[in-house]
Structure 1
Amino acid sequence: MKRYIVGGWVRDTLLKEEGFDIAPQDKDWVVVGASPEEMVKRGFIPVGADFPVFIDPKNGEELALARTERKSGKGYHGFVFHADPSVTLEEDLLRRDLTINAMAFDEDGSLIDCYGGKEDLKNRVLRHISDAFAEDPVRLLRVARFSARLSEFSIAPETMTLLQTIVSSGESDNLVQERVTQEFLRALEESKPSRFFEVLRETGYLERAFPAWKLSPSVLAKVDEVKSKDPRLKRFVASLEEVPVQDLNKILKALRLPKEYSELAVLAKTYEKKVPKVSSSSSEKLLFLKKTDSLRRPERFKQLLDCYETDLSKDERDYWEQLADAVRQLDLKEIVAKVKDKKDVPKMVDEARCLLIEKFSK
């Protein structure tokens, strides 16, 4: 029985040596020459549902038996896996997507590179390993995301041809929606998310799956410019700048993003270029604060203002945030107590808020 570190940890270790600011994450191990029964006897804990995967109880690391795979149906799950002690490391690495993801370290730290991954890494190329690459539509999304992470890398022409085949053959139509959403959100965290969209456009997938999504070079540049601790939400809203309001729901429905993304996207599109000026009337300002639910949801209101970074100056954004805080803190108990007819409460509250807004703005 032999075991090898494979995949992302190997790739990122070599990238770090090349000067990339990347920290290798969790190690994935492949075990050659062992059966599931032998792994259990050695004390490893079985956890894999589709193929033999085990947890090392000493350190929590994941080990998978070397396996091959064969296409048996449509989509990501349409594969039959074969794992037994006779499967070699080379056979296991052959089933992976890109050459830079098909390298391994043995337990002594020696590199095993059967398919030219180190050379492609040196030349900054994303290249598939075999034509079986086109059998798994998830690889379309993964390559697009790797392009966003490793923006200095180009996609080999023959690999791009296979990506386009995944789309033109209809194989991409079998993508599970949850996986599309997952890869999309991960891509928005990468250093240059515009590359994700550009690759999906070049393959034909963007037009096929999201025909309403208009992404000009200027919009993509704005997406890349968003920098924050968690830029995904703001980058998503930025990507929608040229999407007509009437087409927005088509994209939201197709992506099935978390509720906070959908809500902010709708708000941002609704009030795009329509935020009242600081000089506007107090009633206009109050209506904006109420319509955006700023008084109940201050954090989302701040996110909305941040989405208008190119339209509103920092002083204007600060003004609106401070104004909303002031209106939110207004003590309404005394006002309500003086109202004889409860039907007049909303009107009296609005009048008090408008008066505060007027004083605040002076």
Structure 2
Amino acid sequence: MATSAGVSEDLKRKPADDTRWELSHCQIRWSSEDHGPQVIEKPCNVRQEHADGGGFHLQGLGEGDLIKGLRRVTVTVLPSGFAEVRGLTKAGSNSPWGRAKARKGQTHCWDGDDFRLCWARNHLKPPRCGLVPLVSTQALLRKSPRSDLDAERLALRLSEGLVADDDAYERIRGDLAAIRSVAKGKTVAKRSWPHETTQGVTLKPKPEVLDALHAGTYRGLDCFNAWYGGRLLPTHPPIDFLFVQFDRWYFGEAIAQVYAQHPDIEWSGPGAFGGAGDDLRLCNENLGGTHRYLFSHGSGDCPSGCIDWVHRGYDVREDGRVTILQPVWKVRGRGLSKDRPSWIHDSCLRAP
């Protein structure tokens, strides 16, 4: 609506302080050509464009993304009542999402042709177990376990959440398939080692929990386990730890931190794996461009860590073309020799 001076009332509203970001909860749904319907529901920061309503910005917490690769989403309300929606990448590029319309009676929810976004301080609170908010969504958690275990484990090391991101998983799965189509020989690694990925957590409960635990009547973790797909393994005195096992693969430290928030738990750590053997590593610390992989084959007393190793390297471009790196690095005896090939960067051997 225009004023007598021909200026939109919307433009005359007093702008909110640019630094006034409020902690809220965001829900964004969109459709991807590659992955179909997608959804995120998570805490976020919101800044309204005007003190009494109108457009707004949604942004990830701290330095984190709102959506992977996307720092912020901006909704600019037009005089027509529709809104222009744009996304801002970490690199500073604006990507248009298209027009959206507010839902009837819900000025914080806007629907576009292939996306929906909402924010709220109250009605979009995440699900909880008691006072503890639950992390992620069932749609995301149920994607694990994936069909390619090696790709899932490697993707978890590059993902921000509890489970592997779709983009990381699909890229790495394609890379590994391309490598295996050209890699030959009995000393080519056949699988990855779990490293910081896990299917379990070890928990130290508070003393008052132990009696119920040993009596087999403890149910304090039922809500957590129902959400995260865990099951409590039986224990008997004098063991005073809890062991939760998952069919899914999680980033170990992340799922351990989740269970550490439970009021019955004093300490939580990811489940550990012993031994050694074949391993696959992605040398890159970020997704995209040419990926370098280290395939390591161990032999000789591997339950104690393996004595001899053969390391092979492969570069995979985004178009799937593979370059076999030379020379092959052979190490006899435990430890890493100093004469490693130049193609093996420190990042290939970083602590997992």
After TM superposition, the score normalised by the length of structure 1 is: 0.28
Bigger RCO of structures 1 and 2 (CA < 8 A, at least 6 apart): 2
* Higher helix content, 1 or 2: 1
Report the structure, 1 or 2, having the larger strand content: 2
TM-score by length of 2: 0.29
Rg bigger for which structure? 1
